[in-house]
Amino acid sequence: MRLFILDKKGLAIVLCCLMVTIIAIGILTNTGMKAVQTATEQKELPIYSVETDKKQVAISFDAAWGDEQTHKLLDILKKYKVKSTFFLVGDWVDKYPDDVKDIHKAGHDIGNHSDTHPHLTQMSVDEQKKQIEDCNNKVKELTGERPKLFRPPYGDYNTTVVQSVKSLNMYCVQWDIDSLDWKDPTPAEMVDRIVPKLQNGSIILMHNGAKNTPEALPMIIEAVRDSGYEFVPLSKLVCDNCKVDYKTDVTGRTLKE
């Protein structure tokens, strides 16, 4: 039997190799545990659509910058007797207070779209809540009502954002049908994007400042109604069917309790 005797240098090399092996095992184990934990955690989602037996859908308009189209849209909605939801940024409320009052007076929902339109996922919880509450306060001062609905700017959210919204007793709302009106498609292209995707509880996204939206809106309303759906404001679609502490499936569709 041959015996191997290590000198100090050899022993140091062996110990270093052993330490590297232990560290590597620790890293792999920790990574594996984190992967399992992430897989089992349920990411909280906003409401993309609402589970309902009624053939009801909601149309919504985000308002963050100009107001050139706002009254055209209000006139069209009035003509067709459609109640919608306008998600307003606080800065927009500051610039166009009379438009805010007109939207409210016409019976449309006013939702919260943050105060300055930032990426909320890059902010602390306190900063997120301040963005939401500052806009709430501005809307309430002009209309007497505090918004119940919130839409994250850029559609950018994470679980923390959703939880911040819920903690303020509000609903975090996205959409399941995007008109892409901000890309200036033709009215016919917008109709073709929207109608095939309709389902009970759908939420349609549009913008108050897109070039072709006023021309497209009558066509969209008529096509949606021809498909057998009724327009309702988001407050009715969401609040009548969901609790603030709502649950969704993996697509963001609310689940009935």
Give the active site residues.
Answer: 62, 207
Are 209 and 69 spatial neighbours (Cβ–Cβ below 8 Å)? Answer: yes
Residue 104: CA count within 13 A, CB half-sphere:
19
- What does the DSSP 8-state code read for residue 150? E
Phi first, then psi: give them for residue 67, nearest 5 degrees.
-130, 20
Say how far apart CA 72 and CA 117 lie, in whole Å. 24
Q: How far is CA 144 from CA 19, 138, 160, 214, in A?
A: 66, 10, 29, 29
Q: Give one DSSP letter per residue of 15-31, joined into a string.
A: HHHHHHHHHHHHHHHHH
Say how far apart CA 56 and CA 230 lie, in whole Å. 5
Are 56 and 235 spatial neighbours (Cβ–Cβ below 8 Å)? Answer: no
Say how far apart CA 13 and CA 72 lie, in whole Å. 79
